[in-house]
A and B are shown apart, each in its own frame.
Chain A
Amino acid sequence: MTDTPTETAAEASAQAPAAPRANVAFAIEIGPLSAVVGDLPTVVAEFSLSLVALFYPMTLAKKANVVVTELVQNIVENVAEPTSDGAIKLAIDERDLVISVSNIANEEAYAKVRAKIAALGTPAEAKKLLAATIRERRPQRLKGGLGLIRLVAENRFTLSCDHKDGRLTVTARYPLEG
């Protein structure tokens, strides 16, 4: 035992020389989504948080947590095709953090998501949209409608989506600084 104060992990990390940025990636495939009986968004999001925090600052791990939560929640809550599987991918390298979530969806569902993403604009514009959407939906406590906006307004991700072979994929990308 010693009386010398011990530095916290955060302080030690701040004083340490910059470590090379790690490549971290995982992919999960599950299905059918209609068979999920537990809290899938929480399980995958908390895994993402813990994994990213092993290599990167907690601020980035928290971003991964939010994005995985909201995107996985979207596919679980909006299952149009009960037999659809779900695919969740996360990858970080020295350039960016990329998270994508895909499921089977028709053209109509794709068009809706594409329109939502197109309406988000810049983070500043998305922030105004977030405030307006909260004001509009709060009186009825309407569920949904905030997740994608939040990813841009709050976490400064760039969102995109595509539709290939009947699968809708939503991708969130965050550039790493420096």
Chain B
Amino acid sequence: MKILTYGEIMDGGASVFHSVAKVDGERLFVTFEGVIRIDNPYRFLEPYLQELDKTLPEQPVSGSVIDFAQLRFCNSNGFYVIMDIVEAVYRHVKGKVTVRRIRDDDWQQETLPILLNLDEEAIASRTDFEEVRAL
């Protein structure tokens, strides 16, 4: 497993959210963990987005997993940055994308498909969901 890059949100001196992009074999894994509650997540995650745009096109991978199973909360101020991270994966990496999400989480079931842009056939045809129980 090779870690490519990561982004982190700090609040009150503690890490409250992080996203990691890593490669294992021919698959890219992008994980989300923690809570997004702050006013402007771009203040912390802009460098991560830039790094994703730089490193993802160079990866010899044939599929991706985007894992939301440990993202416990996202306020509406966090929607666009989630969209930007997800979009970077779809734009730069070919192949199927498996989205791991929590089965009984309203946000992940109702709003996440909007943020993934599943209305677009090109996105929907590449996307599978893996439903998991909350940890």
The answer to whether A146 has its CB under 8 Å from any CB of chain B is: yes
Q: Are A153 and B83 in contact (CB under 8 A)?
A: no
B79 touches A65 (CB 8 A): no
Contact among A66, A134, A147, A153 with B115 in the assembled complex (CB-CB below 8 Å): A134
Pick from B17-25, B53-61, B69-77, B91-99 the stretch touching chain A.
B69-77
Complexed CA–CA distance, A58 and B105 (Å) = 9
The answer, yes or no, to whether B121 is at the interface (CB within 8 Å) is: no
List residues of A (118-147) whose CB comes within 8 Å of B's CBs.
127, 130-131, 134, 138, 141, 143-144, 146-147
Task: Say which one of B2-10, B106-114, B122-130 lies at the interface with A.
Answer: B106-114
Q: A69's contact among B75, B80, B104, B106, by CB below 8 Å, is which?
A: B75
Task: Check A141 against B42 for contact (C-beta < 8 Å).
Answer: yes
Interface hub of B80, B83, B107 (most chain A Cβ within 10 A): B80
Find A59's partner among B39, B42, B104, B110 (CB 8 Å cutoff): B104
* Cβ–Cβ contact A131 & B11, under 8 A: no
- Which residues on the A side are within 8 Å of B80 (C-beta)? 134, 138, 141
Residues of A within 8 A of B73 (CB): 62, 65-66, 69
Tell me if A158 counts as interface (CB < 8 A to partner B).
no
List A57-112 residues whose CB lies under 8 Å from chain B.
58-59, 62-63, 65-66, 69-70, 73, 77
- Count of chain B residues near A, Cβ 8 A: 24
* Cβ A150 vs Cβ B11 within 8 A: no
In this complex, which of A70, A141, A144 has the most chain B Cβ atoms within 10 angstroms of its Cβ? A141
Where chain A touches its partner, the secondary structure class is helix
Nearest Cβ on chain A to B87's Cβ, whole angstroms: 10
Determine if B106 and A62 form an interchain contact, defined as CB atoms under 8 angstroms apart. Answer: yes
Which of these, B76, B105, B114, contacts A131 with CB under 8 Å?
A: B114
Which residues on A are within 8 Å of B, measured CB to CB?
A: 10, 39, 41-42, 58-59, 62-63, 65-66, 69-70, 73, 77, 127, 130-131, 134, 138, 141, 143-144, 146-147, 150, 153-156
5 residue pairs bridging A and B, Cβ less than 8 Å apart = A10-B133, A39-B38, A42-B37, A62-B106, A134-B114
Chain A to chain B: the 5 pairs with minimum beta-carbon distance, closest first:
A146-B76, A154-B110, A131-B114, A154-B111, A147-B76
Interface residues of B (CB under 8 A from A): 11, 37-40, 42, 73, 75-77, 79-80, 83, 104-107, 110-111, 114-115, 119, 133-134
